[in-house]
Structure 1
């Protein structure tokens, strides 16, 4: 197993989301790796935690990354959040991302959960599963 590609994968996902016209039409530039200090916008996307498990084979060290990306809004109802979640999903599902290290062999939607949070927030947490290989480690 290799965790070495984690940062490169996150950077590529962030870059893809920030450059996607449909997603930026919904949330503007409010796509965060870390939330800004102070007040946050009414609608934003946040890259979140990941779970990683080994997936090495004879050709390369590799891993499966289950990556959380969340749409958050304080708007009443889920409509606005779901529109952003659809754009986010379309941007990532099957994307062919170029990584600074290693290579992405698969990126697929795994699951989502939409829920109410305290303070009137609505969150849609989406999990994407990425398979990466680190051919530099051999």
Structure 2
């Protein structure tokens, strides 16, 4: 197993989301890998938790990353958050991504959960993607 490709994968995902014009039309530059201090915009995207499992085989080291992307909205309904979540999917699925270490073998959507947060009136959609990476080193 290797976790060595995790930072490169996160950077590639962030870069891809930040460069997507359809997502930018909905959230602007409000795409974070850590929620900043201070006042937040009414709709934003955060790279969330990650669960990694070994995917090494005879050909080399690799890992399966279950990567969460969170869309948060202070709107009364889910429509805006769902539009942004759809744009996240469109930006990531079938998109070529070059990693600074390793190779992205595949990136697939696995599930989503839409819910009201336990604090305040925020709406949150958590998208889970499965990324298979191989370490070329």
**TM superposition score category, shorter chain reference:** over 0.9
**What CA distance in whole angstroms lies between the structure 2 residues aligned with 1:48 and 1:114?**
15
TM-score, normalisation: structure 2: 0.97
**What CA distance in whole angstroms lies between the structure 2 residues aligned with 1:9 and 1:135?**
13
Alpha-carbon contact 1:115-1:122 (below 8 Å) kept: yes
2:77 aligned residue = 77
> Shift of residue 94 of structure 1?
2.5
Alpha-carbon contact 1:59-1:135 (below 8 Å) kept: no
Give unpaired runs (5+ residues) of structure 1: none
Question: Deviations for 1:38-73, whole angstroms, at most 9, x for unmatched residues?
Answer: 111110000011000000011120000000000000
Q: Kindly report the root-mean-square deviation, in angstroms, between the aligned alpha carbons of the 2 structures.
A: 0.7
TM-score, normalisation: structure 1: 0.97
Larger proportion of helix:
1
Runs of 4+ in 1 over 6 A off after TM superposition: none
